[in-house]
């Protein structure tokens, strides 16, 4: 008789342990499922489908993380190259130095500058120089394409040639240094 009671008790313990395990697993599935982005679906998803969805999501996030790390390393490489060309507000002429083009059309002056991502300050400096030279900035814009920034400044100058030459010289001196052009 005692053997039957122990066997029944032992089966009861196993049932309780198994029930607790299933309850814990359901809670863990629910917790995992709550961390996944969901589509607006009202249908119930089986636990095995939830696990598969979680695994796919984790793989997708890992791939995205790897791509972002590659991009970060790539940008850090660019930053290191560009930091060699930018030094406390002045630009030292190297292979990554800015490219400056200045065109005069009557009383209009168009300044085009191509820089790296870390030398965007040049845009503000050029506008400051134009204001100091009493040129009216009509339009200024920039756009970023990959690792290059394209700046364009349209301005009006008063007395034509003399001021345009002086402004052009100042802008180039700022961009390239005093003996670079």
- Residue 180: which pLDDT band, with cuts at 50, 70 and 90? very low
> Per-domain residue ranges for the chain?
87-176
Element (H, E) at 114: strand 108-116
Q: CATH fold of 87-176, please?
A: Alpha-Beta Plaits (3.30.70)
What mean pLDDT value characterizes the chain?
Answer: 76
In the chain, the N- to C-terminal Cα span, in Å, equals 108
For the whole model, what pTM was predicted? 0.43
pLDDT in tens, 147-164: 788 888 888 887 655 777
Cβ within 8 Å of residue 50, ≥6 positions away: 29, 32, 33, 36
Query: Which stretch, 29-33, 79-83, 157-161, has highest mean pLDDT?
Result: 29-33
């Amino acid at each position: 008789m005692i053997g039957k009671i122990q066997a029944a008790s032992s089966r009861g313990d196993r049932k309780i342990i198994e029930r607790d395990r299933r309850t814990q697993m359901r809670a863990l599935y629910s917790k995992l499922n709550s961390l996944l982005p969901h589509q607006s679906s009202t249908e119930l998803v089986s636990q095995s489908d939830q696990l598969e969805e979680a695994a796919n999501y984790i793989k997708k996030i890992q791939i995205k993380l790897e791509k972002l790390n590659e991009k970060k390393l790539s940008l850090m490489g660019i930053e290191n190259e560009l930091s060699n060309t930018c030094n406390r507000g002045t630009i030292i002429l190297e292979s990554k130095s800015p490219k400056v083009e200045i065109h005069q059309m009557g009383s209009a002056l168009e300044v085009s500058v191509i820089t790296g991502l870390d030398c965007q300050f040049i845009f503000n400096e050029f506008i400051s120089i134009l204001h100091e030279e009493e040129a009216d900035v009509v339009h200024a814009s920039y756009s970023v394409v990959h690792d290059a920034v394209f700046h364009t400044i349209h301005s009006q100058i008063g007395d034509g040639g003399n001021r345009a030459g002086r402004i052009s010289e100042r802008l180039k001196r700022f961009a390239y240094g005093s003996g670079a052009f």
